[in-house]
Structure 1
Amino acid sequence: MGLDPLDERIVRALAEDARRAYADIGAEVGLSAPAVKRRVDRLRARGAITGFTVRIDPAVMGRGTEGLIELYCRSRTAPADIRRALARYPEVASASTVTGEADAVVQVFASDMRHFERVLERIAGEDFVERTKSVLVLSPLLRRHAPDLPA
């Protein structure tokens, strides 16, 4: 499901600021506002655009400590079981199954070190978890909220 060059430019503009007016985007890409809206509606219907959201600094919300937890699960643990368990933790920002030794990597935002430790202990105590390995993020170097599109 590739995007044509015009759709790519529209998606790139929305990824930078999803609140941009269609007229503003249209002026940038050479279309009228209604034409941009039609294209965005079509991209949403196709599933290329899955939604619009706001990005919040976790530190402003009292969650300034970030850590990554590698999960090593017991055999025959289904990804759906991991997802279901981790969805119960409001501190979990993302979780993905991965290649390599670990079965999954979990991104956690906590209020402080002690809070992170408590979350880690609770996750490690899940029935399917054999062991964990964690690291704390010192300084985020680069954060992209959407993959860059080809130029």
Structure 2
Amino acid sequence: MTEIDDVDHRLLRMLREDGRRTFSEMAPEVGLSVAAVKRRVDRLRDSGVITGFTIQIDHAKLGRAVEAFVEITYTGSTPVGEIVRTAYRAPEVQAVHTIAGAPDALVQVRVRDIAHLQQVIDGLRRTGHVTGTKTLMVLGSWTRN
């Protein structure tokens, strides 16, 4: 486990808010030199705390305004790899989380509308290994930065 102090946490929070933020922008906010900020970020990357940099997308502007999570229950003998493969066949699937207990997986999907959501769910159900689904519509989302 990597030792992380308050400055590291502040740097991580700033990078979560904007992964393109420069060391020069972050340095005055944490009271360090640009070189010191770079060393800290490099250390966080080298230790595996920072695993990559991503972007945030407005899915509504791409025609995928509806977000839902689908709980999926599979037959008892379905291997985890098969669960992930069958769920990821649908391009609307954003993430697959295998979980303990029932259900077996929580699948995040983004679709155009309710009719499109129904098509995606029907496709997930037709895999042959699925014994049940439950869909949870997202009304709003908040993330911790």
TM-score by length of 2: 0.90
The offset of 1:43, in angstroms, is 1.0
- Secondary structure of 1:6's counterpart equals helix
The offset of 1:87, in angstroms, is 2.2
- Secondary structure of 2:131's counterpart equals strand
Matched, 1:24 2:25: yes
Matched, 1:59 2:47: no
Q: Which aligned pairs between 1:122-133 and structure 2 lie closer than 5 A?
A: 122-133=123-134
Equivalent pairs counted in the alignment come to: 144
Task: Please list the CA deviations of residues 96-138 of structure 1 after superposition, one character each: whole Å capped at 9, or x if unmatched.
Answer: 122342111111110111111111011111132111111322x
Q: Which amino acid aligns with 1:93?
A: Q
Residue aligning to 2:81: 80
Residue aligning to 2:136: 135
Residue aligning to 2:36: 35
Residue aligning to 2:14: 13
- Secondary structure of 2:59's counterpart equals coil
Residue aligning to 1:46: 47
Unaligned runs of 5+ in 2: none
Distance 1:87 1:55 in 2: 21
TM-score by length of 1: 0.87
Q: Which amino acid aligns with 1:135?
A: L
Distance 2:113 2:66 in 1: 5
The offset of 1:65, in angstroms, is 1.4
The question of whether the paired residues in 1 share the 8 Å contact of 2:63 and 2:112 is answered with yes
Q: Which of 8-17 and 90-99 deviates more?
A: 90-99
RMSD: 1.5
The offset of 1:51, in angstroms, is 0.7
Work out the percentage of aligned pairs sharing the same amino acid: 41
Distance 2:87 2:51 in 1: 22
- Secondary structure of 2:70's counterpart equals strand
The offset of 1:13, in angstroms, is 1.0
Distance 1:128 1:47 in 2: 36
The question of whether the paired residues in 1 share the 8 Å contact of 2:88 and 2:96 is answered with no
Q: Which amino acid aligns with 2:33?
A: S
Higher helix share: 2
Distance 2:90 2:84 in 1: 10
Residue aligning to 1:107: 108
Distance 2:36 2:131 in 1: 53
Unaligned runs of 5+ in 1: none
